[in-house]
Structure 1
Amino acid sequence: MRWQPIDNLPQHWQQLASSELPPLVTVWNEQADRLRNSGAFKIFMEKMRREIAIETGIIERLYTIDRGITQLLIEQGINEALIPHGVTDRPIKQVVALIQDQEMAIEGLFDFVGGQRYLSTFYVKELHQLLTKNQTHTEGLDQSTGKITSVPLIRGDWKKWPNNPLRTDGSIDEYCPPEQVASEMDNLIQWHHQHQENQVAPEVEAAWLHHRFTQIHPFQDGNGRVARCLASLVFIQARWFPLVLTRDDRSAYIASLEQADQGELSGLIHLFAKSQKQSFIRSLGLSEQILSETRQTRTILASITDKLKQRQLSSIPERCQKAERFAENLFNIASNHLQNLSEEIKLSVQNLVEDTQLFTVSASAGDERSYYHRYQIVETAKQQGYFANVQSYHSWVQLVIIVEKIPTVILLSFHVLGREYLGLLVCSVCAYHRDETEEGDRNISDIQPLTESPFQFSYADEEDNLVNRFNEWLEEATITGLEYWNSSL
């Protein structure tokens, strides 16, 4: 790919913005101050910063750490003593130093925003210097031998030599020539400030800024880390969350960057929007759980006071009722969808397999069976990282497929996200096998979510847009559910 100067946002950028985020942001903004002031939110953010710091180095392949140790470091802090010998491919002291550099850089982004500073090339250099504080060398091309070798890393200044990577197919990605870097970075910063004045959607601006920066590739090494920090900066300025990308996102991340190289920015925007959606859901759903774990008397009393104030507001019941009306509509759509799917499957297999049973079962909110399937729903929520509250509101619908006496079940559940019900609901979907034992018991096995995250909605949604979003989500879940069933045959 030959290098070309960076270009501005496409004129149709509004069409690229996420339709899911604005209603969720509305709910978040109404609860943000209460959560931020709870004391427990600090713990939540500390864990998030540690996760970002660890995973960004894994994405860049600066080191490897297994998932178990990663989780331990997220929960307890970045500490050499928590990392056993042999679980990483670099000296433990070096790995810890790199992670701490990345954690300090993320904390610095909050200080930058708090100080109401404007993004400049000076700050970008400052950020690079901090991120590479404990990285002394990088790979470079030896001009005399043509071989890749280790060379000293220039920190906090633009590259002096080309840094065009060689792809596996033998082609070369050409980044900005060193002599053009300063002018390209000036254009990047100038356009970014214009976008801020024009109130470009955060997920669109973060993706644009990230991609155009990587097109320039102004530093000898560390460009990916700086690019993700710049994207996080956009989100933090919007009072959202830093960008969380993990090793599981790496393939999609690289693919979306390659698509952006071809002029299609939507994939990267979608990936960033998905990350923000998950952060909003985790914060709203887990904040109360974190609060209960801290057991700090002052924090608990402050939370109780806030809850009492919230419940005195007459608007809360009205908001919940509006969300529940949406839930009833989506419940009916889901029930009809699964019923139609059942009929379609029957027509497909009726002449191929004997002893086939297909049927749907449902329970609307208030039904005496609405408490059924709690185990499957809670397990699905655990896998997706949120607290499923089926006490405040719950309805469900399931499709049961029995072929050769082996039941496969697809289950959709509408319930509250988080312990406190303020008008935010989700629909989760999972598939599982149900085995009948000789004693007549039913064993549930192999519970798998059928989507990356639950479908979230609230009183702040617009109904037409909500139904369109749900139909798309439901179609994706259905396809994944059929693949699950197919793999069990």
Structure 2
Amino acid sequence: MYEFIVDLTDFHNLISPELAALSKVWQERKGQLQESGEYQEFLKKMEREWAIETGIIERLYSWDRGVTEVLIEQGIEASLISHRGGLQWEEAEHISAIIKDHQAIVEGLFSYFKGDQPLSEHFVRSLHAEFTAHQDFIMAQSVEGHLLKVPLLKGEYKKQPNNPRRQSGGIHTYCPPEHVSQEMSNLISWYLAWEKQQVPPEVLAAFLHHRFTQIHPFQDGNGRVARALASIVFLKYGLFPVVIRDSDRSQYIQTLEEADGGEIRPLCNFFARNQRDSILAALGIEQAVQQARHAEEILHSGLQLLKNQYIAETSRMDDVLVHAETLRNITKNRLDSIVHDLQPQLTMITPPRHHYRSTSVSDGNNSNRRHYFRNEIVDIARSYKYYANFSKYCAWAFLTIESLNNFQFVVAFHGVGPNHKGIMAASSFTLFRIPREEQSGTQVIDVRPSSPDFFQFNYIEPLESIKDRFHEWLEGSLAIGLAEWRRSIAREVET
């Protein structure tokens, strides 16, 4: 049975302090980038990726990530789709037309958010018509269970129920056709009211996206329209369209299902992380923009920038370095407490002629051991798709447990991006050390990230907010890391 959508209530516990602070960093920096050719190319590629991925998520077409990368770099061409995707020419042309429809839409979203026109049902229906311009039919299931090809209503609300059957065999019930118009009217009214109150974009986007998918007002294409609506919210706040990759699909669907159950916070967090990654990617092109300027322009503007910004930038950098030291000390104290509790227990169960023990070590930025774990940190950063910068700050803390094996849990602190601009990260990972066969010492094996995501912090977010987020992130990382240690012990016992 369908449950009518409800308005957003208290949203304050849904806000992402991380995104709020990073958004301010972006607003300060983007003026230097917006007119550059590099930034325009960055946006063009983002638009292509949005256009491609929003259809892959809906399973309108599918191929491996390599094909997507080629299309992002070279453009949406049927010849590339046919050759790289291994498709017949006619199918490749059809898919190319669909993706180009998507691309035209996302380009239009950039124009739409600059205007003053409020969101309306008319605009939502027109979006749907654009999305489905080259999609004339959908497959529907008859009462007898037969698949039928039926015409797709473009830009019109559904006339028949569109309740899909879950893999479990149950039916997921969307809004009945007779209630769609009223539900959409309510949603738009609530959204506009919250927009006037300047609700943070990750909350507003999650609310609009989820309630829209609950209604499912169209025969098909609801997911694409929902992601476009979420993108509009972020664009209006000076951020980026929501690019949800196929690799994110499972987590994306899970957060929507949690929202169906009344918990919308995971979807808010999902959108916040999505925007964080886009901001960091945009900030990462600063170096390319600077390198592309002519020498005369650099000489003319560089000295003035140095004169005006040196003191402010130094102060900001110092702030974030102090934050990093605070987080390192928090980590050190937490690992010390684990050793304090664990070591007596290890001593009690140590077999004869063995030496079970646990230790914790932490070194700061000025240590001559700051270069430890450099390769592992770079590899972990690459897996999270950011550039680890060690020029201004590099520190770490780690826990070692020596029993049936030699296990380490590491938390590393460093800059983000090719230029250190007051944005930093903490990453966590586990590894094992084994003796070298022909040399003294040990070698590292089986390096694994021990958190679903890295921890980002910067010079704008208040320290107390950073600490609150970090405590939660660190405990989650420890849980994952120590679970890896337990699994390794179980394997050793079995063998």
TM score, norm. by length of structure 1 = 0.90
In the alignment, the residues of structure 1 paired with residue 411 and residue 204 of structure 2 have an alpha-carbon distance, to the nearest angstrom, of 34
Q: Which residue of 2 aligns with 1:315?
A: 312
In the alignment, the residues of structure 1 paired with residue 247 and residue 420 of structure 2 have an alpha-carbon distance, to the nearest angstrom, of 31
Q: Which residue of 2 aligns with 1:433?
A: 432
In the alignment, the residues of structure 1 paired with residue 170 and residue 370 of structure 2 have an alpha-carbon distance, to the nearest angstrom, of 58
In the alignment, the residues of structure 1 paired with residue 299 and residue 247 of structure 2 have an alpha-carbon distance, to the nearest angstrom, of 35
Could you say if the C-alpha distance between residues 349 and 246 of structure 1 is closer, same or farther in structure 2, counting changes exceeding 3 Å?
farther
SS at match of 2:174: coil
In the alignment, the residues of structure 2 paired with residue 485 and residue 83 of structure 1 have an alpha-carbon distance, to the nearest angstrom, of 45
* Residue 169 of structure 2 corresponds to residue 173 of structure 1: no
- Gaps in structure 2 of 5+ consecutive residues: 490-495
1:180-228: CA deviation from partner (whole Å, max 9, x where unpaired): 2222222222221111111111111111111111122111100011001
Could you say if the C-alpha distance between residues 166 and 461 of structure 1 is closer, same or farther in structure 2, counting changes exceeding 3 Å?
same
In the alignment, the residues of structure 2 paired with residue 310 and residue 432 of structure 1 have an alpha-carbon distance, to the nearest angstrom, of 43
Map 1:275-290 onto structure 2 (within 5 A). Answer: 275-284=274-283, 286-288=284-286, 290=288
Q: Which residue of 1 aligns with 2:492?
A: none
In the alignment, the residues of structure 2 paired with residue 426 and residue 307 of structure 1 have an alpha-carbon distance, to the nearest angstrom, of 30
Deviation at residue 433 of structure 1 after TM alignment: 3.2
After TM superposition, the structure 1 stretch with the greater mean CA deviation from structure 2, 248-257 or 130-139, is: 248-257
Whether contact under 8 Å (1:64, 1:89) holds in the other structure is no
- Gaps in structure 1 of 5+ consecutive residues: none
- Given residue 305 of structure 2, which amino acid in structure 1 is its aligned partner? K
Could you say if the C-alpha distance between residues 464 and 298 of structure 1 is closer, same or farther in structure 2, counting changes exceeding 3 Å?
same
Deviation at residue 453 of structure 1 after TM alignment: 2.9
Q: Which residue of 2 aligns with 1:75?
A: 73
Whether contact under 8 Å (1:426, 1:454) holds in the other structure is yes
Q: Which residue of 2 aligns with 1:305?
A: 301
After TM superposition, the structure 1 stretch with the greater mean CA deviation from structure 2, 465-474 or 250-259, is: 250-259
- Given residue 28 of structure 2, which amino acid in structure 1 is its aligned partner? E
Q: Which residue of 1 aligns with 2:377?
A: 377
Whether contact under 8 Å (1:51, 1:74) holds in the other structure is yes
In the alignment, the residues of structure 1 paired with residue 113 and residue 287 of structure 2 have an alpha-carbon distance, to the nearest angstrom, of 28
1:288-344: CA deviation from partner (whole Å, max 9, x where unpaired): 35547xx64459956993696156322111111111111111111111222223344
After TM superposition, the structure 1 stretch with the greater mean CA deviation from structure 2, 228-237 or 361-370, is: 361-370
SS at match of 2:240: coil
Q: Which residue of 2 aligns with 1:331?
A: 328
SS at match of 1:170: coil
In the alignment, the residues of structure 2 paired with residue 4 and residue 201 of structure 1 have an alpha-carbon distance, to the nearest angstrom, of 26
Q: Which residue of 2 aligns with 1:395?
A: 395
- Given residue 329 of structure 2, which amino acid in structure 1 is its aligned partner? N
In the alignment, the residues of structure 2 paired with residue 305 and residue 445 of structure 1 have an alpha-carbon distance, to the nearest angstrom, of 48
Q: Which residue of 1 aligns with 2:50?
A: 52
Could you say if the C-alpha distance between residues 341 and 138 of structure 1 is closer, same or farther in structure 2, counting changes exceeding 3 Å?
same
Q: Which residue of 2 aligns with 1:164?
A: 163
Whether contact under 8 Å (1:244, 1:275) holds in the other structure is yes
* Residue 14 of structure 2 corresponds to residue 26 of structure 1: no
Deviation at residue 476 of structure 1 after TM alignment: 0.9
Deviation at residue 87 of structure 1 after TM alignment: 4.4
Query: Could you tell me the percent identity over the aligned residues?
Result: 38
Whether contact under 8 Å (1:38, 1:302) holds in the other structure is no
Could you say what the CA RMSD is over the residues aligned between the two structures, in angstroms?
2.6
Whether contact under 8 Å (1:66, 1:88) holds in the other structure is no
Deviation at residue 38 of structure 1 after TM alignment: 3.4
Q: Which residue of 2 aligns with 1:411?
A: 410
Whether contact under 8 Å (2:256, 2:267) holds in the other structure is yes
Q: Which residue of 2 aligns with 1:38?
A: 36
In the alignment, the residues of structure 2 paired with residue 303 and residue 191 of structure 1 have an alpha-carbon distance, to the nearest angstrom, of 52
In the alignment, the residues of structure 1 paired with residue 169 and residue 179 of structure 2 have an alpha-carbon distance, to the nearest angstrom, of 25
1:214-266: CA deviation from partner (whole Å, max 9, x where unpaired): 12211110001100110111010011111122223222222222222233222
Could you say if the C-alpha distance between residues 9 and 484 of structure 1 is closer, same or farther in structure 2, counting changes exceeding 3 Å?
same
Q: Give the number of equivalent residue pairs.
A: 482
Map 1:175-190 onto structure 2 (within 5 A). Answer: 175-190=174-189
